[in-house]
Amino acid sequence: MDVHISPSSVSGTARAPPSKSYTHRAILAAGYSDEATIYDALDSADPRATQRAVNAFGGDVTVVGDDGALRITGFDGTPYVPDDVIDCGNSGTTMRLVTATAALADGLTVLTGDDSLRSRPQGPLLSALTELDARAESTRNNGQAPLVVGDSLDGGTVAIPGDISSQYISALLMAGAVTDEGIELELTTELKSAPYVDITLEVLDDFGVTAEPVGTNGEDGVRSAGADGFVVEGGQGYAPAGGEYHVPGDFSSMSYLLAAGAVAASDGGSVIVEGAQPSAQGDSAIVDILDRMGADISWHTDRGTITVSGSSLSGTTVDVGNTPDLLPTIAVLGAVADGDTVIENCEHVRYKETDRVSAMATELEALGASLTEEQATLTIHGGDSELSGATVEGYHDHRVIMSLAVAGLVADGDTTVTGADHVAVSFPDFFEVLSDLGATIDRTE
C-alpha cells in the first residue's frame, strides 16, 4: 500500500498505541512464568511474532475478553524444543529475546525471519551464548539468521559489547533468571540505548525477578546509564503481582503525533496525546527535545496527557545514543526548523530494520531538505530546506514511513510514501489516527 499525504492542518485528541517494547518483554516474561494475563498489549505484527515464539516453546497465548487481554500459560522457565522453525517475521526484538530462550532448551531451535531480519547482526549474542556453553550458530556463518540455538544454557560470566544492540543484554538477563547459575555480563564497550535495558529491568521487577546494573552512574535517572555490566541471579521464578501486567503507552509512536502537532497544528488548535504515563521509556525525551526546539508543549504526567500546539521551531543538537528510535522524527523536525539540527551518536541507528540514518537522509533530500550525513552524525540544515511533495520510499520500515508522513503534512504539494502498510509493525491504525486529526490522506494498493 502507498499513502498520499496532502498539506494539512491537524488538531484534536489522539491516543498512541501501547508500547511495543513493553509488550514484547511482557509476553515473553509471561511465557517464562506459570501463567499470567497481559492487559493493554499492542496488537501488531512484531508482538504477534513473540506470541508465536512463546507458543512454539510450549506456552499458550489466548486472547480473552472484549478488551483483547492475553492470557498466557507459560512454559515455567523450561522451554520445549519447538516442533518447527520459529519465524520472527520482521521483529528483531523477537529474534534477539527468544534466541536466549532457545538456548535454555535441551534440543535445538531454528530461528529465521524476513529478508530484512536475516540481514541484521546477531553475532555478539551468538558468541556470548557460545561462551556460556550453549550452542548458538548462524547457518551461513555470517552472524545473521537463520540461527540454530540450544543445548541447555546453565549460566555463567560472559563479556559482550554494549554498543550494537541493547537487546542482547535484555535477552541474556531474561533467560539468565531461570538458569541454574545466573548470568553476569561484562560490557566491553559503552552501553547504547540504556533506557531499553531499563525497560527490561522494570518488567523483570514487575514479574518478581531481580536483575541489577553494575557500576552505573544513573545519569538522568536512567538506571543502566554508564553500566559496566549486569548481574541476574539464577533459580528465579516469573510471577507478576496478582497474576497480571498492564502495558503502558508507547512514546516512540507518540513522537509522530507530537511532531505532527508541532509542525502542522491549526491556528489556535493543538494536538493532545493520551496514554502518556511516565515510565522507563527513553523516547519520552521527545517532550524535552520539542521543548528545546521551541515547541509550545506541556506534559501533564498525572493525567498522562501531552498537549502541543503549532510552533516556530529552531534547530538543536540531540544525542540519540539512548534514543535511537527517535532519529526519524527528529530529522523531520529539523527539516522544518530554522537553523541546523545535529543528530549525534547515531551510528547504531544504521542497524535497525534498515539503515535509518541513510534512509532519512536520502528521502528528506528527495523532499527538498538539505542534509550532511556522516557515519555517526546527521545534520539537517533547516534554513536551507524547503520541503516539496515527492514520492519517497518507506524502506519497509514503520518508523521511516510514519516520520515521512509527518513531513508530508507541511511539504508543498502531495507526498507519496511507498510500502506504507508496514506501519502495522508498531502502529497499525496510524493513518486513521492522523486522518481523524484532520490530515488529508489517500491510499492506493
To the question of whether residue 193 is assigned a binding role by annotation, the answer is yes
In this structure, are residues 321 and 343 in contact, taking their beta carbons and an 8 Å threshold? no
To the question of whether residue 192 is assigned a binding role by annotation, the answer is no
To the question of whether residue 170 is assigned a binding role by annotation, the answer is no
Beta bridge partners of 343: 318, 378
Q: Name which of 240, 116, 110, 101 is nearest 178 in CA terms.
A: 101
Q: What distance in Å separates the CA atoms of residue 86 and residue 95, rounded to the nearest whole number?
A: 9
Q: What distance in Å separates the CA atoms of residue 192 and residue 160, rounded to the nearest whole number?
A: 13
To the question of whether residue 223 is assigned a binding role by annotation, the answer is no
In this structure, are residues 168 and 128 in contact, taking their beta carbons and an 8 Å threshold? yes
To the question of whether residue 180 is assigned a binding role by annotation, the answer is no
Helix axis angle, 166-176 to 20-32, nearest 10°: 20
To the question of whether residue 165 is assigned a binding role by annotation, the answer is yes
To the question of whether residue 120 is assigned a binding role by annotation, the answer is yes
To the question of whether residue 92 is assigned a binding role by annotation, the answer is yes
The single residue of 40, 206, 250, 325 carrying the catalytic annotation is 325
**Residue 127: C-alpha distances to residues 133, 142, 175 (Å):** 10, 12, 16
To the question of whether residue 15 is assigned a binding role by annotation, the answer is no
Q: Count CA atoms within 13 Å of residue 274 on its CB side.
A: 5
206 in active site? no
Structure-block grid coordinates of residue 359: 534512509
Structure-block grid coordinates of residue 151: 543445548
Chain centroid to CA 202: 16
Instruction: End-to-end CA distance of the chain: give it in Å, rounded.
Output: 4
Q: What distance in Å separates the CA atoms of residue 75 and residue 32, rounded to the nearest whole number?
A: 6
Q: What are phi and psi of 321, to 5 degrees?
A: -55, -35
The binding site consists of 20-21, 25, 92, 120, 165-167, 193, 325, 352, 356, 399
The binding site for phosphoenolpyruvate consists of 20, 92, 120, 167, 356, 399
Catalytic residue list = 325
The binding site for 3-phosphoshikimate consists of 20-21, 25, 165-167, 193, 325, 352
